[in-house]
Structure 1
Amino acid sequence: MSPGRAVRLVEVATPQGPGRFHVDEADAPVALLVLGHGAGGGVDAPDLLALAHRLPDDGVTVLRFEQPWRVAGGRVAVRPPRLDEAWLAGLTTVLAAVGPGLPLVTGGRSAGARVACRTAAGLGASGVVCLSFPLHLPGRPERSRLPELLAPDVPRLVLQGTRDTFGSAADVVAALAGPEVDPARAAGVEVVELAGADHGGRVPRGAAPTAAELRSEAVTRTSAFVRGLAGGPGIPS
Protein backbone atom coordinates (compact mmCIF):
# COMPACT_ATOMS: atom_id res chain seq x y z
CA MET A 1 0.00 0.00 0.00
CA SER A 2 1.42 3.36 -1.00
CA PRO A 3 2.22 5.70 1.89
CA GLY A 4 -0.52 8.22 2.56
CA ARG A 5 -3.29 6.40 0.73
CA ALA A 6 -6.49 6.59 2.74
CA VAL A 7 -9.50 4.32 2.57
CA ARG A 8 -12.62 6.20 1.49
CA LEU A 9 -15.97 5.15 2.98
CA VAL A 10 -19.07 5.50 0.83
CA GLU A 11 -22.47 4.92 2.41
CA VAL A 12 -25.21 3.65 0.10
CA ALA A 13 -28.92 3.10 0.52
CA THR A 14 -30.28 -0.38 -0.27
CA PRO A 15 -33.65 -2.09 0.21
CA GLN A 16 -32.03 -3.91 3.16
CA GLY A 17 -30.85 -0.71 4.84
CA PRO A 18 -27.59 1.23 4.60
CA GLY A 19 -24.58 -0.54 3.11
CA ARG A 20 -21.01 0.69 3.05
CA PHE A 21 -18.18 0.58 0.52
CA HIS A 22 -14.55 0.70 1.63
CA VAL A 23 -12.73 2.18 -1.36
CA ASP A 24 -8.97 1.84 -1.93
CA GLU A 25 -8.30 3.91 -5.05
CA ALA A 26 -5.48 3.51 -7.53
CA ASP A 27 -3.78 6.68 -8.73
CA ALA A 28 -4.23 5.71 -12.39
CA PRO A 29 -6.81 2.89 -12.36
CA VAL A 30 -7.19 0.46 -15.25
CA ALA A 31 -9.94 -1.62 -13.62
CA LEU A 32 -12.28 -1.92 -10.65
CA LEU A 33 -12.44 -4.95 -8.36
CA VAL A 34 -15.49 -5.08 -6.10
CA LEU A 35 -15.41 -7.66 -3.29
CA GLY A 36 -18.04 -8.96 -0.89
CA HIS A 37 -17.41 -10.53 2.51
CA GLY A 38 -18.46 -13.86 3.95
CA ALA A 39 -21.50 -14.86 5.97
CA GLY A 40 -19.59 -14.97 9.25
CA GLY A 41 -17.05 -12.22 8.76
CA GLY A 42 -16.53 -8.75 7.39
CA VAL A 43 -14.51 -6.67 4.98
CA ASP A 44 -11.48 -6.87 7.27
CA ALA A 45 -10.80 -10.55 6.47
CA PRO A 46 -7.03 -10.90 5.91
CA ASP A 47 -7.28 -11.86 2.24
CA LEU A 48 -9.72 -9.05 1.43
CA LEU A 49 -7.46 -6.57 3.22
CA ALA A 50 -4.40 -7.84 1.33
CA LEU A 51 -6.12 -7.28 -2.00
CA ALA A 52 -7.40 -3.86 -0.97
CA HIS A 53 -4.02 -2.69 0.28
CA ARG A 54 -1.85 -3.97 -2.55
CA LEU A 55 -3.82 -4.01 -5.80
CA PRO A 56 -4.12 -0.19 -6.08
CA ASP A 57 -0.35 -0.14 -6.60
CA ASP A 58 -1.02 -2.33 -9.67
CA GLY A 59 -3.62 0.07 -11.04
CA VAL A 60 -6.71 -1.69 -9.66
CA THR A 61 -9.14 0.28 -7.51
CA VAL A 62 -10.64 -2.08 -4.90
CA LEU A 63 -14.07 -1.62 -3.34
CA ARG A 64 -15.08 -3.86 -0.43
CA PHE A 65 -18.84 -3.91 0.12
CA GLU A 66 -20.06 -4.20 3.70
CA GLN A 67 -23.52 -5.74 3.58
CA PRO A 68 -26.35 -3.91 5.45
CA TRP A 69 -26.75 -6.74 7.96
CA ARG A 70 -23.11 -6.27 8.93
CA VAL A 71 -23.32 -2.46 9.03
CA ALA A 72 -26.28 -2.84 11.39
CA GLY A 73 -24.19 -4.98 13.76
CA GLY A 74 -25.72 -8.33 12.86
CA ARG A 75 -23.82 -11.54 13.50
CA VAL A 76 -25.59 -13.80 11.01
CA ALA A 77 -26.05 -13.10 7.31
CA VAL A 78 -29.48 -12.69 5.75
CA ARG A 79 -30.80 -15.03 3.05
CA PRO A 80 -29.11 -15.10 -0.40
CA PRO A 81 -31.84 -13.17 -2.27
CA ARG A 82 -31.49 -10.29 0.16
CA LEU A 83 -27.69 -10.36 -0.12
CA ASP A 84 -27.99 -10.15 -3.91
CA GLU A 85 -30.54 -7.34 -3.69
CA ALA A 86 -28.36 -5.18 -1.43
CA TRP A 87 -25.23 -5.89 -3.49
CA LEU A 88 -26.92 -4.92 -6.75
CA ALA A 89 -28.48 -1.78 -5.28
CA GLY A 90 -25.20 -0.67 -3.72
CA LEU A 91 -23.18 -1.26 -6.86
CA THR A 92 -25.69 0.50 -9.08
CA THR A 93 -25.23 3.58 -6.92
CA VAL A 94 -21.49 3.56 -6.44
CA LEU A 95 -20.31 2.59 -9.93
CA ALA A 96 -21.62 5.85 -11.34
CA ALA A 97 -19.33 7.74 -8.97
CA VAL A 98 -16.25 5.50 -8.71
CA GLY A 99 -14.41 4.62 -11.89
CA PRO A 100 -17.18 5.07 -14.48
CA GLY A 101 -16.28 3.31 -17.72
CA LEU A 102 -13.54 1.14 -16.23
CA PRO A 103 -13.68 -2.65 -16.65
CA LEU A 104 -15.52 -4.19 -13.70
CA VAL A 105 -14.48 -7.41 -11.99
CA THR A 106 -16.56 -8.65 -9.07
CA GLY A 107 -15.84 -11.25 -6.43
CA GLY A 108 -15.63 -11.99 -2.76
CA ARG A 109 -14.87 -14.46 -0.07
CA SER A 110 -17.16 -17.45 0.63
CA ALA A 111 -20.77 -16.21 0.57
CA GLY A 112 -19.52 -13.04 -1.12
CA ALA A 113 -18.15 -15.15 -3.97
CA ARG A 114 -21.56 -16.79 -4.38
CA VAL A 115 -23.24 -13.38 -4.57
CA ALA A 116 -20.73 -12.25 -7.20
CA CYS A 117 -21.32 -15.36 -9.31
CA ARG A 118 -25.10 -15.03 -9.14
CA THR A 119 -25.07 -11.35 -10.13
CA ALA A 120 -22.16 -11.14 -12.59
CA ALA A 121 -24.34 -11.15 -15.69
CA GLY A 122 -26.67 -8.44 -14.41
CA LEU A 123 -23.76 -6.14 -13.60
CA GLY A 124 -21.88 -6.74 -16.85
CA ALA A 125 -18.80 -7.96 -14.96
CA SER A 126 -15.77 -8.92 -17.04
CA GLY A 127 -14.78 -11.65 -14.58
CA VAL A 128 -15.30 -13.03 -11.08
CA VAL A 129 -12.74 -13.68 -8.31
CA CYS A 130 -13.77 -16.35 -5.80
CA LEU A 131 -11.88 -16.60 -2.50
CA SER A 132 -12.76 -19.85 -0.70
CA PHE A 133 -15.82 -20.62 -2.81
CA PRO A 134 -18.15 -22.68 -0.56
CA LEU A 135 -18.81 -25.60 -2.90
CA HIS A 136 -20.95 -27.29 -0.24
CA LEU A 137 -21.60 -27.26 3.48
CA PRO A 138 -19.06 -29.26 5.51
CA GLY A 139 -19.94 -32.93 5.30
CA ARG A 140 -22.70 -32.31 2.72
CA PRO A 141 -21.04 -32.73 -0.69
CA GLU A 142 -24.34 -33.91 -2.18
CA ARG A 143 -25.72 -30.37 -1.83
CA SER A 144 -23.36 -28.79 -4.35
CA ARG A 145 -23.32 -25.11 -5.23
CA LEU A 146 -21.42 -25.81 -8.43
CA PRO A 147 -24.26 -24.39 -10.58
CA GLU A 148 -23.58 -20.97 -9.06
CA LEU A 149 -19.89 -21.16 -9.97
CA LEU A 150 -20.80 -22.23 -13.50
CA ALA A 151 -23.45 -19.54 -13.97
CA PRO A 152 -21.29 -16.58 -15.09
CA ASP A 153 -20.41 -16.51 -18.78
CA VAL A 154 -17.10 -14.77 -18.02
CA PRO A 155 -13.73 -15.99 -16.69
CA ARG A 156 -13.66 -17.00 -13.04
CA LEU A 157 -10.60 -17.25 -10.77
CA VAL A 158 -11.03 -19.56 -7.77
CA LEU A 159 -8.46 -19.33 -4.97
CA GLN A 160 -9.10 -22.41 -2.84
CA GLY A 161 -7.37 -24.03 0.12
CA THR A 162 -6.41 -27.68 0.16
CA ARG A 163 -7.95 -28.10 3.64
CA ASP A 164 -11.20 -26.22 3.00
CA THR A 165 -14.04 -28.26 4.52
CA PHE A 166 -16.51 -26.38 2.31
CA GLY A 167 -14.76 -27.98 -0.67
CA SER A 168 -11.02 -28.21 -1.23
CA ALA A 169 -9.23 -27.12 -4.38
CA ALA A 170 -9.19 -30.78 -5.46
CA ASP A 171 -12.93 -31.03 -4.79
CA VAL A 172 -13.64 -28.01 -6.99
CA VAL A 173 -11.47 -29.40 -9.80
CA ALA A 174 -13.19 -32.79 -9.55
CA ALA A 175 -16.64 -31.20 -9.58
CA LEU A 176 -15.78 -29.20 -12.69
CA ALA A 177 -14.69 -32.41 -14.42
CA GLY A 178 -17.94 -34.19 -13.57
CA PRO A 179 -19.84 -35.98 -16.36
CA GLU A 180 -22.83 -33.68 -16.04
CA VAL A 181 -20.75 -30.50 -16.52
CA ASP A 182 -20.41 -28.87 -19.92
CA PRO A 183 -16.62 -28.85 -20.55
CA ALA A 184 -16.88 -25.53 -22.38
CA ARG A 185 -18.52 -24.00 -19.30
CA ALA A 186 -15.97 -25.47 -16.93
CA ALA A 187 -13.10 -24.23 -19.08
CA GLY A 188 -13.84 -20.70 -17.95
CA VAL A 189 -12.89 -21.51 -14.34
CA GLU A 190 -9.25 -21.34 -13.22
CA VAL A 191 -8.59 -23.00 -9.85
CA VAL A 192 -5.52 -21.92 -7.86
CA GLU A 193 -4.55 -24.28 -5.05
CA LEU A 194 -3.57 -22.65 -1.75
CA ALA A 195 -1.53 -25.36 -0.08
CA GLY A 196 -2.53 -26.12 3.51
CA ALA A 197 -5.17 -23.39 3.80
CA ASP A 198 -8.58 -23.94 5.39
CA HIS A 199 -11.78 -22.05 4.56
CA GLY A 200 -10.59 -18.98 6.46
CA GLY A 201 -7.14 -19.02 4.85
CA ARG A 202 -5.48 -20.36 7.99
CA VAL A 203 -2.66 -22.94 7.89
CA PRO A 204 -1.28 -25.23 10.63
CA ARG A 205 1.34 -23.80 12.95
CA GLY A 206 4.79 -23.99 11.37
CA ALA A 207 3.40 -24.81 7.93
CA ALA A 208 5.11 -23.76 4.74
CA PRO A 209 3.95 -21.79 2.87
CA THR A 210 2.66 -19.52 5.62
CA ALA A 211 -0.74 -17.86 5.53
CA ALA A 212 0.94 -14.55 4.67
CA GLU A 213 2.78 -16.17 1.77
CA LEU A 214 -0.48 -17.64 0.48
CA ARG A 215 -2.12 -14.22 0.65
CA SER A 216 0.76 -12.82 -1.41
CA GLU A 217 0.18 -15.57 -3.96
CA ALA A 218 -3.52 -14.70 -4.03
CA VAL A 219 -2.70 -11.02 -4.60
CA THR A 220 -0.31 -11.83 -7.45
CA ARG A 221 -2.74 -14.18 -9.18
CA THR A 222 -5.66 -11.79 -8.74
CA SER A 223 -3.67 -8.86 -10.09
CA ALA A 224 -2.72 -10.82 -13.21
CA PHE A 225 -6.33 -11.96 -13.67
CA VAL A 226 -7.90 -8.52 -13.30
CA ARG A 227 -5.30 -6.67 -15.36
CA GLY A 228 -5.50 -9.34 -18.03
CA LEU A 229 -9.24 -8.76 -18.33
CA ALA A 230 -8.56 -5.03 -18.55
CA GLY A 231 -6.28 -5.57 -21.53
CA GLY A 232 -2.92 -5.39 -19.81
CA PRO A 233 -0.45 -7.79 -18.16
CA GLY A 234 -0.57 -8.52 -14.47
CA ILE A 235 2.12 -6.85 -12.41
CA PRO A 236 3.72 -8.96 -9.68
CA SER A 237 2.81 -7.56 -6.27
Structure 2
Amino acid sequence: MSTERMVEVMEVQTPGGPARVHLARPPRPAGSVVLTHGAGGSIRAGDVTAVATGLVEAGWAVALVEQAWIVAGRKLPPPAPVQDPSWLPVLSHLTTGRGRLPRPLVVGGKSNGARVAFRTAHDTGADAVLALAFPLHPPGKPQASRADELRAPVTHGIPLHVVQGETDPFGTPTEVRAELPDPSWVTVARGGHGFTRRPDDVVAAVLAFVRSLGARDQGGQKG
Protein backbone atom coordinates (compact mmCIF):
# COMPACT_ATOMS: atom_id res chain seq x y z
CA MET A 1 0.00 0.00 0.00
CA SER A 2 1.17 3.50 -0.67
CA THR A 3 0.15 4.51 2.86
CA GLU A 4 2.92 2.50 4.51
CA ARG A 5 3.13 4.69 7.62
CA MET A 6 -0.44 3.70 8.49
CA VAL A 7 0.17 -0.06 8.26
CA GLU A 8 0.22 -2.28 11.34
CA VAL A 9 1.80 -5.71 10.89
CA MET A 10 0.71 -8.56 13.14
CA GLU A 11 1.05 -12.32 13.28
CA VAL A 12 -1.88 -14.63 13.94
CA GLN A 13 -1.35 -18.20 15.09
CA THR A 14 -3.13 -20.87 13.04
CA PRO A 15 -3.04 -24.67 12.84
CA GLY A 16 -0.64 -24.27 9.91
CA GLY A 17 1.70 -21.89 11.71
CA PRO A 18 1.62 -18.09 11.88
CA ALA A 19 -0.13 -15.99 9.25
CA ARG A 20 0.88 -12.37 8.75
CA VAL A 21 -1.59 -9.48 8.49
CA HIS A 22 -0.80 -6.01 7.14
CA LEU A 23 -3.58 -3.72 8.37
CA ALA A 24 -4.26 -0.16 7.24
CA ARG A 25 -7.04 1.53 9.19
CA PRO A 26 -7.92 5.10 8.17
CA PRO A 27 -9.81 7.36 10.61
CA ARG A 28 -13.51 6.44 10.90
CA PRO A 29 -13.44 3.72 8.21
CA ALA A 30 -16.55 3.12 6.12
CA GLY A 31 -16.06 -0.64 6.47
CA SER A 32 -13.37 -3.27 6.09
CA VAL A 33 -11.92 -5.40 3.31
CA VAL A 34 -9.74 -8.45 3.99
CA LEU A 35 -7.77 -9.61 0.95
CA THR A 36 -5.33 -12.45 0.46
CA HIS A 37 -2.98 -13.50 -2.30
CA GLY A 38 -3.08 -16.08 -5.04
CA ALA A 39 -1.00 -19.21 -5.46
CA GLY A 40 2.00 -17.02 -6.26
CA GLY A 41 1.88 -15.90 -2.66
CA SER A 42 2.45 -12.14 -2.97
CA ILE A 43 0.24 -9.47 -1.42
CA ARG A 44 2.47 -7.03 -3.32
CA ALA A 45 1.14 -8.06 -6.73
CA GLY A 46 0.31 -4.95 -8.70
CA ASP A 47 -3.45 -5.47 -8.86
CA VAL A 48 -3.77 -6.36 -5.17
CA THR A 49 -1.69 -3.33 -4.17
CA ALA A 50 -3.70 -1.02 -6.43
CA VAL A 51 -7.00 -2.25 -5.00
CA ALA A 52 -5.76 -1.94 -1.41
CA THR A 53 -4.49 1.59 -1.99
CA GLY A 54 -7.72 2.65 -3.67
CA LEU A 55 -9.80 1.26 -0.81
CA VAL A 56 -7.76 2.98 1.89
CA GLU A 57 -7.90 6.28 0.01
CA ALA A 58 -11.69 5.84 -0.19
CA GLY A 59 -11.86 5.43 3.60
CA TRP A 60 -11.96 1.65 4.02
CA ALA A 61 -9.84 -0.36 6.42
CA VAL A 62 -7.83 -2.96 4.51
CA ALA A 63 -6.14 -6.10 5.84
CA LEU A 64 -3.77 -7.87 3.45
CA VAL A 65 -3.16 -11.41 4.66
CA GLU A 66 -0.11 -13.57 3.99
CA GLN A 67 -1.47 -17.02 4.69
CA ALA A 68 0.31 -19.49 6.93
CA TRP A 69 1.52 -21.64 4.06
CA ILE A 70 3.38 -18.75 2.43
CA VAL A 71 4.83 -17.49 5.73
CA ALA A 72 6.15 -21.02 6.24
CA GLY A 73 8.00 -20.79 2.92
CA ARG A 74 5.91 -23.26 0.95
CA LYS A 75 5.64 -22.74 -2.79
CA LEU A 76 2.10 -24.00 -3.36
CA PRO A 77 -1.13 -23.68 -1.38
CA PRO A 78 -2.30 -26.77 0.50
CA PRO A 79 -5.61 -28.50 -0.31
CA ALA A 80 -8.80 -26.99 1.07
CA PRO A 81 -9.04 -29.30 4.13
CA VAL A 82 -5.68 -27.91 5.26
CA GLN A 83 -5.91 -24.36 3.94
CA ASP A 84 -9.33 -23.44 5.28
CA PRO A 85 -8.71 -24.27 8.98
CA SER A 86 -5.65 -22.03 8.87
CA TRP A 87 -7.64 -19.20 7.30
CA LEU A 88 -10.49 -19.13 9.80
CA PRO A 89 -8.40 -18.03 12.84
CA VAL A 90 -7.15 -15.01 10.88
CA LEU A 91 -10.68 -13.77 10.31
CA SER A 92 -11.65 -14.56 13.89
CA HIS A 93 -8.73 -12.45 15.12
CA LEU A 94 -9.73 -9.53 12.90
CA THR A 95 -13.43 -9.59 13.73
CA THR A 96 -13.45 -10.14 17.52
CA GLY A 97 -12.02 -8.34 20.50
CA ARG A 98 -11.14 -4.68 21.01
CA GLY A 99 -9.37 -4.33 17.69
CA ARG A 100 -12.13 -5.83 15.56
CA LEU A 101 -12.63 -4.42 12.10
CA PRO A 102 -15.73 -2.31 11.42
CA ARG A 103 -18.52 -3.59 9.20
CA PRO A 104 -19.54 -4.14 6.51
CA LEU A 105 -16.85 -6.79 6.24
CA VAL A 106 -15.82 -7.82 2.73
CA VAL A 107 -13.57 -10.87 2.47
CA GLY A 108 -11.82 -11.88 -0.72
CA GLY A 109 -8.63 -12.34 -2.61
CA LYS A 110 -6.78 -12.97 -5.82
CA SER A 111 -7.29 -16.30 -7.59
CA ASN A 112 -6.60 -19.05 -5.02
CA GLY A 113 -7.21 -16.46 -2.32
CA ALA A 114 -10.69 -15.91 -3.72
CA ARG A 115 -11.34 -19.63 -3.54
CA VAL A 116 -10.59 -19.86 0.18
CA ALA A 117 -12.60 -16.69 0.86
CA PHE A 118 -15.64 -17.97 -1.04
CA ARG A 119 -15.49 -21.44 0.51
CA THR A 120 -15.42 -20.05 4.04
CA ALA A 121 -17.56 -16.91 3.61
CA HIS A 122 -20.36 -18.16 5.84
CA ASP A 123 -18.02 -19.48 8.53
CA THR A 124 -16.09 -16.20 8.71
CA GLY A 125 -19.22 -14.08 9.04
CA ALA A 126 -18.45 -12.08 5.91
CA ASP A 127 -21.04 -9.52 4.84
CA ALA A 128 -19.86 -9.84 1.23
CA VAL A 129 -17.12 -11.54 -0.78
CA LEU A 130 -14.89 -10.34 -3.58
CA ALA A 131 -12.83 -12.21 -6.18
CA LEU A 132 -9.98 -10.65 -8.11
CA ALA A 133 -9.84 -13.23 -10.92
CA PHE A 134 -11.71 -16.35 -9.83
CA PRO A 135 -9.99 -19.54 -11.16
CA LEU A 136 -13.14 -21.30 -12.34
CA HIS A 137 -11.12 -24.13 -13.86
CA PRO A 138 -7.50 -24.97 -14.73
CA PRO A 139 -6.45 -23.60 -18.15
CA GLY A 140 -7.77 -25.80 -20.93
CA LYS A 141 -9.77 -28.00 -18.53
CA PRO A 142 -13.30 -26.57 -18.27
CA GLN A 143 -14.54 -29.98 -17.16
CA ALA A 144 -12.61 -29.54 -13.88
CA SER A 145 -14.99 -26.84 -12.73
CA ARG A 146 -14.86 -25.12 -9.34
CA ALA A 147 -18.33 -23.65 -9.77
CA ASP A 148 -19.43 -25.10 -6.43
CA GLU A 149 -16.83 -22.93 -4.68
CA LEU A 150 -17.86 -19.89 -6.74
CA ARG A 151 -21.50 -20.32 -5.73
CA ALA A 152 -20.87 -21.21 -2.08
CA PRO A 153 -21.69 -17.69 -0.77
CA VAL A 154 -24.94 -17.63 -2.77
CA THR A 155 -26.38 -20.51 -0.76
CA HIS A 156 -26.05 -18.35 2.37
CA GLY A 157 -27.37 -15.13 0.82
CA ILE A 158 -23.96 -13.43 0.91
CA PRO A 159 -23.43 -10.78 -1.80
CA LEU A 160 -20.51 -11.47 -4.09
CA HIS A 161 -18.66 -9.81 -6.92
CA VAL A 162 -16.07 -11.15 -9.34
CA VAL A 163 -13.68 -9.01 -11.36
CA GLN A 164 -12.52 -11.21 -14.23
CA GLY A 165 -10.00 -10.52 -16.98
CA GLU A 166 -11.49 -10.61 -20.47
CA THR A 167 -8.97 -13.23 -21.65
CA ASP A 168 -8.51 -15.15 -18.40
CA PRO A 169 -7.47 -18.75 -19.25
CA PHE A 170 -8.84 -19.89 -15.87
CA GLY A 171 -12.32 -18.87 -16.96
CA THR A 172 -13.64 -16.05 -19.11
CA PRO A 173 -16.19 -13.56 -17.77
CA THR A 174 -18.80 -15.33 -19.91
CA GLU A 175 -18.00 -18.67 -18.28
CA VAL A 176 -18.12 -17.19 -14.78
CA ARG A 177 -21.42 -15.41 -15.46
CA ALA A 178 -22.96 -18.66 -16.67
CA GLU A 179 -22.42 -20.16 -13.21
CA LEU A 180 -24.06 -17.32 -11.25
CA PRO A 181 -27.69 -16.23 -10.89
CA ASP A 182 -27.01 -12.62 -11.95
CA PRO A 183 -24.55 -11.60 -14.70
CA SER A 184 -24.15 -8.17 -13.09
CA TRP A 185 -22.15 -9.86 -10.32
CA VAL A 186 -19.21 -10.11 -12.75
CA THR A 187 -17.20 -7.14 -14.03
CA VAL A 188 -15.02 -7.55 -17.10
CA ALA A 189 -11.51 -6.11 -16.73
CA ARG A 190 -8.71 -5.62 -19.22
CA GLY A 191 -6.14 -8.40 -19.48
CA GLY A 192 -6.03 -11.99 -18.38
CA HIS A 193 -5.62 -13.70 -15.03
CA GLY A 194 -3.19 -11.01 -13.89
CA PHE A 195 -5.18 -8.12 -15.39
CA THR A 196 -2.96 -5.29 -16.68
CA ARG A 197 -0.11 -3.23 -15.28
CA ARG A 198 -2.52 -0.31 -14.73
CA PRO A 199 -5.62 -1.99 -13.26
CA ASP A 200 -7.68 1.18 -12.92
CA ASP A 201 -10.80 -0.65 -14.10
CA VAL A 202 -10.29 -3.31 -11.42
CA VAL A 203 -10.03 -0.67 -8.69
CA ALA A 204 -13.14 1.12 -10.00
CA ALA A 205 -15.15 -2.11 -9.99
CA VAL A 206 -14.11 -2.94 -6.43
CA LEU A 207 -14.97 0.53 -5.16
CA ALA A 208 -18.37 0.41 -6.85
CA PHE A 209 -19.12 -2.95 -5.23
CA VAL A 210 -18.15 -2.02 -1.67
CA ARG A 211 -20.01 1.29 -1.90
CA SER A 212 -23.14 -0.57 -3.00
CA LEU A 213 -23.29 -2.68 0.15
CA GLY A 214 -24.91 -0.03 2.36
CA ALA A 215 -27.67 0.60 -0.17
CA ARG A 216 -28.12 -3.14 -0.67
CA ASP A 217 -28.49 -3.74 3.07
CA GLN A 218 -30.98 -0.88 3.43
CA GLY A 219 -33.09 -2.39 0.70
CA GLY A 220 -33.12 -5.76 2.42
CA GLN A 221 -31.44 -7.47 -0.52
CA LYS A 222 -28.64 -9.94 0.02
CA GLY A 223 -26.86 -11.90 -2.60
TM over 0.5, shorter chain: yes
Decide whether the 8 Å contact of 1:51 with 1:62 is kept in 2.
no
Match of 2:186 in 1: 191
Spell out, residue by residue over 1:186-212, the C-alpha distance to the aligned partner (whole angstroms, 9 max, x if none): 1386111113x111224xxxxxxxx30
Mapped pair 1:46 → 2:46:
yes
Mapped pair 1:171 → 2:166:
no
Distance, in Å, in 1 between the alignment partners of 2:56 and 2:163 is 20
How much does 1:117 deviate? 0.7
Q: Percent identity?
A: 42
Amino acid of the residue matched to residue 148 of structure 1?
Answer: E
Structure 1: gaps spanning 5 or more residues: 177-185, 203-210, 233-237
Distance, in Å, in 1 between the alignment partners of 2:26 and 2:211 is 13
Please identify runs of 4+ aligned residues in structure 1 that moved more than 4 A. Answer: 1-4
* Distance change (3 Å), C-alpha of 1:188 and 1:84: farther
RMSD: 2.0
Decide whether the 8 Å contact of 1:27 with 1:56 is kept in 2.
no
* Distance change (3 Å), C-alpha of 1:188 and 1:170: closer
Distance, in Å, in 2 between the alignment partners of 1:114 and 1:138 is 16
Match of 1:21 in 2: 21
Match of 1:223 in 2: 207
How much does 1:66 deviate? 0.5
1:138-153 alignment to 2 at 5 Å? Answer: 138-152=139-153, 153=157
Match of 2:159 in 1: 155
Mapped pair 1:121 → 2:122:
yes
* Distance change (3 Å), C-alpha of 1:188 and 1:15: farther
Match of 1:67 in 2: 67
Amino acid of the residue matched to residue 158 of structure 1?
Answer: V
How much does 1:175 deviate? 3.6
Match of 2:9 in 1: 9
Spell out, residue by residue over 1:44-99, the C-alpha distance to the aligned partner (whole angstroms, 9 max, x if none): 11111112222112121111110111112221111122221111111111222544
How much does 1:39 deviate? 1.3
Q: How many residues align?
A: 212
Match of 2:195 in 1: 201
* Distance change (3 Å), C-alpha of 1:28 and 1:231: farther
* Distance change (3 Å), C-alpha of 1:50 and 1:132: same
Match of 2:89 in 1: 89
Structure 2: gaps spanning 5 or more residues: 217-223
How much does 1:4 deviate? 6.8
